């Protein structure tokens, strides 16, 4: 599986991995670290220090339906401008097997969701439609995305643990 098939948090891959979330399957570290909105994401740690202040992220429908269209909608505020050189570390595990573990250039990925670097300081909305594969191998998926500036300052970091029922 190629990294380029996974766009930050908004990739079809992640969307697939987020299918069938249930509260008992989610790793809830702390309620205050839950990403606001209708999806199973949590921040990796207290998001107060992140450059991106996420207001809301919704998956429509939540949970996604295999073989159908999924809308990913979100908004947030960047507390500083994001320049070229920002990176995104993406890790996807299926059970104990690592499917993806890779650093990529964030600015090269963003055009896929109609955003360009530099990202101006201030409010931003995103909207993306993806198609969920009809067949998703059942099992436990762990997804982590850690986004940093070129100076390694944290922009955001989110994770989800989701189990696809057999
Ligand atoms: C962000 O999106 C949510 C849900 O659509 C909305 O309720 C909220 O007003 C938005 N925030 C801003 C600052 O526009």
How much is the pLDDT for 81?
Answer: 97
Do residues 9 and 144 make contact, with C-beta atoms less than 8 angstroms apart? no
H or E stretch at 78: strand 69-78
Torsion angle of alpha carbons 144, 153, 86, 145, nearest 10°? Answer: 0
| Per-residue pLDDT at 31 | 63
- How sure is the predictor about 7, in pLDDT bands with cuts at 50, 70 and 90? very low
Residue 134 Cα to ligand 1 middle (Å): 31
User: CB–CB of 140/31 below 8 Å?
Assistant: no
Section 30-41 average pLDDT: 86
From atom 7 of ligand 1, which residue's Cα is the shortest distance away? 56
- Which 8-state DSSP code applies to residue 133? P
Dist. CA 89–CA 104, nearest whole Å: 6
pTM tops 0.75, yes or no: yes
Q: How confident is the model at residue 32 (pLDDT cuts 50, 70, 90)?
A: low
The Cα–Cα gap between 127 and 37 comes to 14
* Rounded Cα gap, residues 63 and 76, in angstroms: 22
Q: Which of 29, 5, 129, 24 is nearest to 70 (CA)?
A: 129
CATH homologous superfamily, domain 3-164: Ganglioside GM2 activator (2.70.220.10)
- Distance, in Å, from the CA atom of 55 to the CA atom of 60, rounded to the nearest integer, reads 17
- Would you kindly state where each structural domain of the chain is located, as residue ranges? 3-164
37 CA distance to ligand 1 centroid (A)?
Answer: 10
| CA 75 to ligand 1 center in whole angstroms | 7
CB 17 within 8 A of CB 5: no
Q: Distance between CA atoms of 80 and 58, rounded to whole angstroms?
A: 24
CB atoms near residue 20 (< 10 Å): 18
Distance of CA 123 to the CA centre of its chain: 18
pLDDT in tens, 41-98: 999 999 999 999 999 999 999 888 889 999 999 999 999 999 999 999 999 999 999 9
Q: Using a 6 Å CB cutoff, which residues line ligand 1?
A: 55-56, 75
Distance (angstroms) between ligand 1 centre and the Cα of 137 equals 34
- Ligand 1 centroid to residue 95 C-alpha, Å: 35
Is the pLDDT at 18 greater than 60? The verdict is no
Neighbours of 98 (CB within 10 A): 12
107 or 135, which is more confident:
107
Q: What is the mean pLDDT of residues 19-29?
A: 43
- Which atom number of ligand 1 is nearest to the Cα of residue 75? 1
Nearest residue (CA) to ligand 1, atom 5: 56
Contact (CB, 8 A) for 45 and 162: no
What tens digit of pLDDT does each residue of 94-130 get? 999 999 999 999 999 999 888 999 999 999 999 999 9
């Amino acid at each position: 599986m190629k990294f380029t098939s996974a766009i930050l948090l908004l990739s079809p891959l992640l969307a697939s991995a987020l299918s069938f979330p249930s509260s008992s399957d989610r790793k809830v570290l702390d309620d205050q670290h839950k990403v606001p909105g209708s999806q199973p994401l949590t921040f990796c740690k207290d998001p107060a220090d992140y450059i991106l202040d996420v207001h809301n992220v919704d998956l429509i429908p939540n949970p996604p339906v295999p073989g159908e269209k999924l809308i990913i909608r979100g908004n947030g505020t960047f507390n500083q401008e994001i320049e070229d050189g920002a990176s995104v570390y993406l890790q996807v595990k299926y059970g104990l097997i690592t499917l993806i573990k890779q650093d990529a250039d964030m600015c090269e990925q963003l055009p896929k969701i109609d955003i360009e670097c530099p990202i101006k300081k201030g409010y931003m909305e995103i909207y993306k439609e993806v198609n969920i594969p009809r067949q998703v191998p059942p099992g436990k998926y762990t997804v982590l995305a850690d986004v940093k500036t070129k100076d390694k300052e944290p922009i955001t970091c989110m994770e989800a643990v989701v189990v696809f029922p057999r």
